[in-house]
Amino acid sequence: MAQAAKAKGNAAFQAGDYPAAIGHYTAAILADNTDFTFPLNRAAAYLKLGKNEDAERDCTTVLSLSALNAKALFRRGQARLAMERLDEAMSDLTQASKREPANEAIKVEMNKLAGLIKKKIAKASKFKSDLLPSTSAPTRRRVPITIVDSAASPTASTSPAASSQAPPTSKASPSAPALIPTPSPALPKTQDSLATDTLHPISTRSLKPSQAPPVQPPPDQPPTFQAAKQARQTTKPSRVHPQQVGGGIFRASGESTVFPARPGPSSPAASPSPPPAQAQAKSTPAAPSILHPIPPQNPPTTCFEFMRAWDATSATAEHWGLILSVPPPRLPALFKTSLEPAQLAAILGVFRDVLQSHSRSQSGPADVKARVREYLNALARVERFGTVVLFLSAAEKRVGREVWDALGVTEKAGAGSVWAKLWA
């Protein structure tokens, strides 16, 4: 059985159907986990799909079964090179080259790895040179500084009295040294100078403190609690107490129990209670919503669209409507080789909830069991469906058996050869 699965995997690999090849190689590994060629071939299929971590794991398994296997070292080196783990890839490819020195594929990967290492070293050195400070000394140059005397000459706007008292200046000879002027003592301003001076400091800010807002005394507190309660009722607007809403119990299966609404507290302005003959009747439980599926706006045409619509909601009614939007004969073409064990388990869970809800309720479509049976038969025709069933957990297989039990099939002989793996 293991060799037959390996042969199917090799045929699918040569045809370019790498997902199908992985499925066949997986079936071979489950049948015989001591043959290292099965994980070695599956690693090659993983590399074709770009799943480098899975390929590395399978090659490590091969090396545990067949130490220093050249193909396993070469393919693990390819996976690690794609993940940019250059040191580990160099170790694997070096060992593979020692085992098979004339292998051209190993030489090509070694050259590619050497080029990547050179680029990494050049990039690191460039980054390091950018971080190092410059060792050249800063250039200095002399800038002449002109010292300007801070003592300014008297302006033309000085008063006549002040100008008449100033001594006449004498012309300095070119050979005489420069004299440093000394500040003269400040003279008191006369009435004439104050009249002619046009620059007066003016302050427009008021220095008076701003007037604080008046403090209002706190309101008088009521002497008793009863008076405080009456004061609050008089300040609130009068209103009629609304009728309180009832409650209920809502279950995940869709069943619900609704409790009647409770009457609110009576008030003087409320209307009189109705007579007993007009009392509210006991509410009947709502019909289970799971038996009324909600179809999607656009039925899915590919497995990707089906998975995206499935993950967009968590309601069982919408999942049931999504399944019903795809006719059973179209399921093999919809899923092809993309059906995963988790998705199959979720579909089986919806089937179980629908059948259980239908058995507890007297309403709903009468052909629910027939529809579920059609979808189960159509799922059995999906490619590599038997392998998907093998990957179901024990709890997920139990859900599948519960679906068949609800359809009246309690033994694996009545479920077919593919579905019989649920009882394995």
What are the per-10-residue average pLDDT scores of the chain (424 residues)?
A: 92 94 94 93 94 95 91 94 91 92 91 89 71 62 76 47 44 47 52 52 59 65 69 60 55 61 49 45 46 83 91 89 91 91 92 86 73 90 89 90 87 80 82
Report how far residue 184's alpha carbon sits from residue 170's, in angstroms, rounded to the nearest whole number: 17
Task: Scan for tokens 């030489």, then name that residue.
Answer: 107
Pick the CATH number of 2-129 from 1.20.1250.20, 1.25.40.10, 3.40.50.200, 1.10.3260.10: 1.25.40.10
Helix axes 18-31, 2-14, angle to 10 degrees: 170
pLDDT at 71: 92
Report how far residue 159's alpha carbon sits from residue 198's, in angstroms, rounded to the nearest whole number: 12
pLDDT at 136: 60
DSSP result, 367-403:
THHHHHHHHHHHHTTSTTHHHHHHTS-HHHHHHHHHH
pLDDT at 232: 72
pLDDT at 60: 95
| pTM, full prediction | 0.36
pLDDT at 306: 92
**Extents of the domains making up the chain:** 2-129, 303-423
pLDDT at 137: 60
Task: Give CA separation, 125 vs 121, 128, 360, in Å.
Answer: 6, 5, 74
pLDDT at 62: 94
Residue 134: phi and psi, rounded to 5, are -70, 135
Report how far residue 214's alpha carbon sits from residue 235's, in angstroms, rounded to the nearest whole number: 25
pLDDT at 231: 73
Report how far residue 188's alpha carbon sits from residue 36's, in angstroms, rounded to the nearest whole number: 113
CB-count exposure of residue 256 (10 Å: 0-12, 13-18, 19+)? middle
pLDDT at 420: 85
